[in-house]
Structure 1
Amino acid sequence: MRTANSQPGFLGFVHRRRRGAELFLLILALAVGIGGYAAVGIGVDGSVPTNIVGYGGWLVVLIVACHVAVRITAPYADPVLLPVVAALNGLGLAVIRRLDLAEIESVKGTERVPHVFANDQLVWMTIGVALFIGTLVVLRDHRVLQRYTYTTGLAAIVLLILPMLPIIGNEVNGARIWIDLGPVGMQPGEIAKVLLVIALAGYLVVHRDALALAGRRFLFIDLPRGRDLGPILGMWLIGMGILVFQRDLGSSLLFFGLFLTMLYVATERGGWLFVGGVLFVVGAIGAYLVTPHVQGRVDSWLDPFGAWDTGSQQVGLSMFGMAWGGLLGQGFGNGRPELIPYAESDFIVGAIGEELGLTGVMAVVLMYGLIVERGLRAALVCRDGFGKLVACGLAVIFAIQVFVVIGGVTDLIPLTGLTTPFLSYGGSSLVANWVIIALVLRISDQARRPIPDLSFEEPSEVETTQIVKAVRP
């Protein structure tokens, strides 16, 4: 049945462009970002910030530029993704500004210069938006990326190795995941995760038939053949290498979980989940036994308040703050989120829980759920196998990362150190996530775009007679 929001297409109906709906949702998203910034000023200083016009105007320029780029280059793309991302990014800027004001207040009367993170984050957002627009303009067909399967895979491995180099590699908070490029530092792993999705999708779409073949049966599960275990063992070794040499528990879990999920989606074989689960348990136990960094994270998880004297106070302080925030929160300016170490990056969800309450945290989780759902929807309606796997992999990145981050902050699982997408302070993460959204929108546009009508009218009887005479010897 044809509805008001559909039109004829291949095997049924496809959605209309819905750019007007996207614009309306973007207005609401801007209200969240600019309104949150104003609420921070009122809550902390008792007045609207003096730079609200300049800040709000620049935020409007960035978001409108994204909308125009989508309207021109991807008119059939999903209308919900961009507004949700804009709302998250705007809320993150407001919360970081709140923490900046607390830092400025704490250094009054001293010679210490406060570090203002919100200004840097707005600059990184500008770079991310520029790359978002550039990706949509340059990449008009996502299937082109399949040609560079092994190139992107090699580039991802090189990026993961860079932090281990003696000159440019840099260790921060016990994890060696940074590189220094002059005055700018970056996490190459954030870019590697995008390249890894493209490489895995290109590899699996070609070899999934062989990987889907069943081997021996064990406990009602068809295990994969022994000769096909090479890719998963290789990815497991890469994950263990990241964990042992870079001491980065979050990235190790993210990359292995991403590969395992894409492998299962490509082959539809539960045996791979069994093998991957066994490898995960073996790797986790081995890492705990030989890596002091992992031991400290697990001990802090098991007893977050017992580890107080050893310096692992982040989880405990975050739980105190969220408990104080309650259901509706203390309101901007009425809490003490600055007491949580790294509240602007690793523990920004704890700051939101303290001042916006459980309601604010649930709203944030719901928005991340929408991003994952729209990414999986794009994978479902995509017409080619490569696009399906890329969209699924990019959606899984958000799902795993958000679960790991929020699970660590709430003491559900051990703390890993990943950033919360679009909320946390961090240039590498923010830029990479904007590129991910551009790729998902490109796949969504390709999937929802109507196929050209290839039908033709049957020739008349006179035309048929003429054709027969012309071809008759």
Structure 2
Amino acid sequence: MSATASVPSATAQPRGRTRRNTELMLLLLGLVIIMGFYAAADIALTKQVTSSVFTLPLLLAIPFLAAHVAVRAWAPYADPVLLPAAALLTGMGVVFLRRLDLVPDPYNGIDEPELTTAAGRIDFPLFAGQGIRQYFYVLGALVLFGLVLALLKDHRILSRYAYTLGLAGLVLVALPAILPASISEVNGSKLWIRLGAFSIQPSEFAKLLLLCFFSYYLVRKREVLSLEGRRIFGMVFPRGRDLIPVLVVWGAAILILVFERDLGTSLMYFGLFVSMLYIATQRTSWILIGLSLFAGAAVLAHTLFSNLQLRVMIWSDPWPYAENESYQLVQGLLGMGTGGLFGAGPGQGQPEKVPYASSDFIIAGFGEEIGLVGLTAMLLVYLVIIARGLKVGLTVRDAFGKLLAAGAAFTMGLQVFVIVGGVTKLIPLTGLTTPFLSYGGSSLVANWIVIALLIRISDTSRRPPPPGVTAPGTGGGPAKPDRLDHAPTEVIKL
């Protein structure tokens, strides 16, 4: 990857094809998979075939097909895989939450004896429980998805408000830390704002705002950050004064770690910035510097905070504490071990035995019922979204769009790695959610906005130029120097 390069007269991506019918076919295939999983789970739990087997999947089809229509109308040249992949994961999350509603589950707030049948199942109405609440979150998320596509005609508009968005992101990050613990603290981490029945996790939206700011900042400053420095062991390390931006973001991550006591969120923000810095400059030394700074901060935090010490303790050896501190982790590992290669089958496992199987440990619940093969397939869907996001960064012309798309894709990949790594005991547990799957509106809405941004940028990169324009512009008018670049042909090559 070089900081500057000449743009060829045409991209490698075939231009002029909308591929919307491909998107529709993939979306329908995803809906069939969702319906099959839910039907199998519902039949296994109720021992009968009822109309409810088809009701929830059909309800899910309505907003997903509406989202497809929105893409047809406002982003016709967008990547055809992003929407179906995100819809498949979201739908699987909704039907799995509904599956959890059908069994007694004290950890997820469903332990009502009067609703329990003789067979030990919950006679739960369709329009009650976490499953239907998640469905309404899906409706809200897809409404915002459509609004982003309709109102954001050009992703570069975001660069005009980069500093405002960055300031708003910092406010959202800091807000839970300064609020009383009674309305912001959950399980030892101050990440929430809870007012009665309403709750929101500001960090999910702050990452979007900071992503826009980082993209703009690195486009403007990448030449300074790429200046020659001192060569050590074959790598060029930056000059001392060029480290200031990284140290500032590192300090912000430390403050999050100290005041909010959450390793996962601070890792996500710092990892986002360092990865985008590497993409913008292609200096491996930035990765080494970033890892060293974060490792030092993590060691320091471990010595200061008891909740982090507990998480490291149960990660290193959970079995002696299986009845108390590491009960959740041990139950998740046992569930996935019980599922084996192909799983117990939809509705035939016991994921309700894992505390918070609907949120933090939903991956463990899926692992028990669809096994290693099914869980691998699910992770491959995430990989498809991440790979397509990086491809969007490769094909779009402007530097701001490249960093925005690549940063969004990397952030989602990092979040999936951190939560799956914690559930499988690869790394200590953190407070991050599983994108699209976990119960809750904040994460779901934020990740669908990410999908909308990727779709908007991919539409820009694939849209053919109007007649008479030979340069691969951004979808309209003659080729002009990009306001974000120093020359018309200057881009960041991923």
- Written as runs of structure 1 = structure 2, the 5 A alignment for 1:293-442 is 293-442=307-456
CA distance in 2, matches of 1:198, 1:266: 14
Alpha-carbon shift at residue 268 of structure 1 (Å)? 0.9
Shift of residue 48 of structure 1? 3.4
Paired position in structure 1 for 2:130: 117
Deviations 1:281-311 (A, max 9, x none): 1111101111111111111110021222442
1:13 Cα deviation after fit: 5.5
Question: Quick check: 1:34–1:90 contact (8 Å CA) kept in 2?
Answer: no
Which of 160, 166, 172 matches 1:147? 160
Deviations 1:111-160 (A, max 9, x none): 99998211110010000000000000000100100011111110000001
1:65 to 2:66 alignment: yes
1:107 and 2:112 matched: yes
What secondary structure, in the 3-state scheme, does the structure 1 residue paired with 2:37 have?
helix
Instruction: Specify whether residues 283 and 12 from structure 1 end up closer, same or farther in structure 2 by C-alpha distance, changes over 3 A only.
Output: closer
> Counterparts of 1:67 and 1:318 in 2: how far apart (Å)?
36
Per mean C-alpha deviation after superposition, the further-off stretch among 285-294 and 428-437 is: 285-294
Q: Report which of the two structures shows the higher radius of gyration computed on alpha carbons.
A: 1
Give 1:181 shift: 4.0
Distance 1:342 1:217 in 2: 49
Note if 1:243 corresponds to 2:257.
yes
Give the corresponding residue for 1:275: 289
User: C-alpha distance in 1, partners of 2:52/2:115?
Assistant: 25
Task: Tell me how far 1:217 sits from its aligned partner.
Answer: 2.0
User: SS at the partner of 1:357?
Assistant: helix
> Counterparts of 1:9 and 1:47 in 2: how far apart (Å)?
61
Checking the alignment, whether the CA contact within 8 Å between 2:415 and 2:434 is kept in structure 1 is: yes
Q: Which amino acid aligns with 2:177?
A: M
> Normalising to structure 2: TM-score of the pair?
0.87
Q: Aligned ranges for residues 98-247 of structure 1 at < 5 Å?
A: 98-103=99-104, 106-109=111-114, 116-166=129-179, 169-247=183-261
- Contact 2:183/2:195 (CA < 8 Å) preserved in 1? no
What is the alpha-carbon distance in structure 1 between the residues aligned to residue 402 and residue 11 of structure 2?
Answer: 18
Corresponding letter in the other structure for 1:442: R
For residue 185 of structure 1, give the secondary structure of its aligned residue in structure 2.
strand
Match of 1:252 among 266, 270, 283: 266
Give 1:438's aligned amino acid: A
CA–CA separation in structure 1 for the residues paired with 2:304 and 2:186 = 21
Is the alpha carbon distance of 1:159 and 1:113 closer, same or farther for their aligned partners in structure 2, counting shifts above 3 Å?
farther
Pairwise CA distance, 1:238: 1.3
Instruction: Give 1:70's aligned amino acid.
Output: V
- Cα offset for 1:314? 1.3
1:16-95 alignment runs, 5 A limit: 16-95=17-96
One-letter code aligned to 2:244: G
Greater RCO (CA < 8 Å, at least 6 residues apart): 2
Moved more, 53-62 or 379-388: 53-62
Q: Aligned partners of 2:232 and 2:327: how far apart in 1?
A: 45
Residue 170 of structure 1, CA deviation: 1.6
Deviation at 1:253, TM superposition (A): 0.8
Name which of structure 1's ranges 303-312 and 203-212 shifts more when overlaid on structure 2.
Answer: 303-312
- The verdict on how the C-alpha distance between 1:395 and 1:284 changes in structure 2, with shifts beyond 3 A counting, is same
Cα distance, 1:35 vs. partner? 2.2
SS of the residue corresponding to residue 38 of structure 2 reads: helix
Q: C-alpha separation between the residues in 2 aligned to 1:209 and 1:451?
A: 30
TM-superposition CA deviations, 1:173-195 (whole Å, max 9, x none)? 11110002453100000000111
Find the aligned partners of 1:110 and 1:89 in 2 and give their Cα distance: 28
Tell whether the 8 Å contact from 1:33 to 1:93 is kept in structure 2 after alignment: no
Q: Is the 8 A contact 1:329 1:355 kept in 2?
A: yes
Asked if structure 1 preserves the Cα contact closer than 8 Å seen for 2:335 and 2:367, the reply is yes
CA distance 1:48–1:156, shift in 2 (3 Å) = farther
Corresponding residue pairs, total: 449
Deviations 1:195-236 (A, max 9, x none): 111010010000000011122222222111111111111111
Indicate the SS of the match to 1:231: helix
CA distance in 1, matches of 2:208, 2:300: 28
Map Cα deviations across residues 35-84 of structure 1 (whole Å, 9 max, x no partner): 22222210111123543444233211101100000011001100001111
Q: Say whether the 8 Å CA contact 1:236–1:256 is kept in structure 2.
A: yes
RMSD over equivalenced CA pairs, Å: 2.1
Aligned partner of 1:62: which letter? P
Measured against aligned partners, the alpha-carbon deviations of 1:241-296 in whole angstroms (never above 9, x if no partner) come to 11121111111111111111000001111121121121011111101111111111
Q: Give unmatched runs, 5+ long, in structure 1.
A: 1-7, 457-473
Inter-CA distance 398–215: structure 2 relative to 1 (3 Å threshold): same
Q: Secondary structure at the match of 1:424?
A: coil
1:10 maps to what in 2? 10
CA contact (8 A) 1:91 1:423 kept: yes
Distance in 1, matches of 2:160 and 2:328, equals 45
Asked whether the equivalents of residues 169 and 177 of structure 1 are also in contact (C-alpha less than 8 Å), the reply is no
Is the 1:9–1:450 contact (alpha carbons within 8 Å) kept by the matching residues of 2?
no
Residues 444, 354 of structure 1: alpha-carbon distance in 2 compared, 3 angstrom cutoff: same
Q: Which moved more, 1:350-359 or 1:98-107?
A: 98-107
Cα distance between partner residues in 2 of 1:336 and 1:303: 24
Shift of 1:427: 0.7
Percentage of matched positions with identical amino acids? 47
How much has 1:106 moved relative to structure 2?
Answer: 5.0
Aligned counterparts of 1:241 and 1:166: Cα–Cα separation in 2: 15
Query: CA distance change for structure 1 residues 267 and 56 in 2, over 3 Å: closer, same or farther?
Result: same
Aligned partners of 1:146 and 1:202 also within 8 Å:
yes
Alignment-mate amino acid for residue 107 of structure 1: E
Structure 1 length normalisation: TM-score? Answer: 0.91
For residues 363 and 450 of structure 1, do their structure 2 counterparts lie closer, same or farther at Cα, with a shift above 3 Å needed? same
